[in-house]
């Protein structure tokens, strides 16, 4: 494993090394493998660095061979996208992997790919990013749509590890709990520093109530994160029904007052006549 400065990717020229024997019968005319006979390419360094290694391409054929180079699953960069290797020659081709600043500590995998003559060779790439591992998750910007009941919120990864969040939802109304969903895994992963804005359906919110919605997000290794939002639900039919009840109550009260008034008048008239 070699380390390169951040500003310089792969600047070294391909090294052509000595003659090699012709391929035995049935063997491929060319091969690609990590330098120094290693079973896989291995790089190690902190986030925000550029790491360098070498791929050995061996042409055992009788003619020059042009090999296309690339990577998958990791930001692999070669000085050129292809290299031409003379007959019966081995070429050591340097490449670099850029470890971005938001890459979490731990083990990462990828491949280095070499393609020529209708065949592709994949070399296993193992990357170890050093640094402390911290799991931290927050829930922010909670909003309740009182028309549809939809809950909108944002999850933010404020640590240094990839998180797989779970979410629990609870809503308390004037008369008690109106929504209670236990924690369940969400279909996403959050890399360090990333945020994801999501929605949570609530297809049957109360027609008339004042509620406090509490969202609790958890992830392995992280402390639970909670956030709340207030909302007042008042649908048209509910308001109409409430107005009807109030009018009925007011009418009943007025009728009772009138009855009590008539009763007092009748008692007073009866006393005067006696």
Q: Provide the Cα torsion 216, 218, 223, 226; round to 10°.
A: -10
User: 133 with 160: CB under 8 angstroms?
Assistant: yes
pLDDT digits (tens, 9 = 90+) for 171-216: 999 999 999 999 999 999 998 889 999 999 999 999 999 999 999 9
Percent of the chain at pLDDT > 90 equals 65
CATH class of 137-234: mainly beta
**101, 123 in Cβ contact below 8 A?**
no
Boundaries of CATH 2.60.40.10 in the chain?
A: 2-130, 137-234
In the structure, what pLDDT confidence band is assigned to residue 116 with cuts at 50, 70 and 90? very high
Query: Which pLDDT band holds residue 9 (cuts at 50, 70, 90)?
Result: very low
What pLDDT does 251 receive?
53
Distance CA 55, CA 71 (A): 12
Task: Please report the pLDDT score of residue 5 as a whole number.
Answer: 41
* 121 contact partners, CB below 8 Å, separation of at least 6: 31, 32, 33, 113, 114, 115
Q: What are phi and psi of 206, to 5 degrees?
A: -65, 145
Q: What is the pLDDT of residue 132?
A: 87
- pLDDT at position 250 is 53
What are the residue ranges of helices labelled H in the chain? 236-273
The C-alpha atoms of residue 192 and residue 215 are separated, in whole angstroms, by 21
The pairing of beta strand 89-98 with beta strand 50-59: antiparallel
Q: Taking residues 91-102, report their average pLDDT.
A: 93
The structure tokens 């709340």 sit at: 228
pTM: 0.57
Give 220-232 pLDDT, tens digit per residue.
999 999 999 999 9
The span from the CA of 254 to the CA of 4, in Å, is: 90
Mean pLDDT of the 5-11 span: 41
* Residue 245 to residue 116: CA distance in whole angstroms: 82
Is the pLDDT score of 104 beyond 80?
Answer: yes
Give the pLDDT mean for 98-117.
92
Rounded to the nearest integer, the mean pLDDT of the chain is 84
DSSP class of 192: T
Q: How far is it, in rounded angstroms, from Cα 204 to Cα 207? A: 9
Taking 50 as the threshold, does the pLDDT of residue 45 lie above it? yes
Q: How far apart are CA 177 and CA 180, in angstroms?
A: 7
- Its sign, for the CA torsion 26, 93, 46, 73, is negative
pLDDT for 106 beyond 90 = no
Helix (H) or strand (E) holding 171: strand 166-173
- Residues 88-105 have a mean pLDDT of 92
pLDDT tens digits along 118-145: 999 999 999 999 988 899 999 999 999 9
Tell which CATH classification among 3.30.70.2740, 3.40.50.2020, 2.60.40.10, 3.40.1380.20 matches the domain 2-130.
2.60.40.10
* 3 state SS of 247: helix
Which H or E run contains 96?
strand 89-98
Please write down the HEC assignment for all residues of 25-80: CCCCCEEEEEHHHCCCEEEEEECCCEEEEEEEEEECCCCCEEEEEEEECCCEEECC
83 burial level (CB within 10 Å; 0-12, 13-18, 19+): buried
Confidence (pLDDT) at 131: 87
């Amino acid at each position: 494993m070699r380390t390169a400065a951040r500003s310089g990717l792969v600047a070294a020229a391909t090294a052509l090394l000595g003659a090699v024997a012709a391929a035995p019968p049935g063997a491929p005319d060319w091969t690609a493998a990590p330098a120094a006979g290693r079973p896989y390419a291995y790089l190690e360094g902190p986030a925000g660095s550029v790491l360098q290694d070498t791929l050995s391409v061996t042409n055992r054929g009788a003619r020059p061979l042009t090999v296309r180079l690339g990577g998958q699953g990791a930001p692999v960069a070669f000085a050129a996208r292809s290299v031409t290797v003379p007959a019966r020659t081995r070429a050591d081709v340097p490449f670099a992997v850029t470890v971005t600043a938001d890459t979490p500590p731990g083990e990462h995998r990828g491949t280095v790919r070499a393609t020529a003559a209708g065949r592709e060779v994949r070399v296993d790439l193992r990357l170890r990013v050093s640094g402390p591992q911290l799991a931290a998750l927050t829930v922010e910007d909670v909003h309740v749509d009182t028309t549809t009941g939809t809950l909108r919120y944002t999850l933010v990864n404020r640590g240094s590890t990839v998180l797989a969040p779970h979410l629990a939802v609870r809503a308390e109304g004037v008369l008690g709990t109106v929504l209670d969903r236990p924690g369940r895994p969400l279909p996403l992963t959050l890399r360090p520093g990333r945020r994801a804005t999501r929605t949570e359906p609530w297809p049957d919110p109360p027609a008339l109530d004042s509620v406090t919605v509490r969202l609790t997000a958890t992830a392995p290794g992280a402390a639970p994160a909670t956030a709340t939002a207030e909302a007042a639900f008042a649908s048209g039919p509910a308001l109409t029904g409430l107005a009807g009840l109030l009018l009925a109550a007011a009418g009943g009260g007025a009728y009772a007052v009138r009855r009590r008034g008539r009763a007092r008048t009748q008692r007073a008239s009866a006393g005067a006549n006696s």
